[in-house]
Amino acid sequence: MYVYECPACDGTSDPYLTPWGARQFGAEHRDAEHAGLHPRGECVVPTAQRAPQGREWVAVALVALILLGSLVMR
């Protein structure tokens, strides 16, 4: 998992599965908050949080299917 950090705003993004996702958030943040300028010290860093691994993805998929099925049945 990766986060974007902006020291100018003292802010940190939500975690993203990929560095690309965090960089994309950073680009949108720069455009909205800093007129496209790059604040000194901004960065994308790995976090201690982790994405689901191996068979955990099976559990995530099953829960998603159950939730989707319950929505369709309504």
At residue 65, the 3 state secondary structure works out as: helix
- Given this model, what pLDDT does residue 13 score? 92
How many domains does the chain divide into?
A: 1
Element (H, E) at 56: helix 56-73
pLDDT tens sequence across 35-59: 999 999 999 999 987 766 667 778 8
In terms of residue numbers, what domain contains 24?
Answer: 2-73
Report the predicted TM-score, pTM, of the whole model to 2 decimal places: 0.66
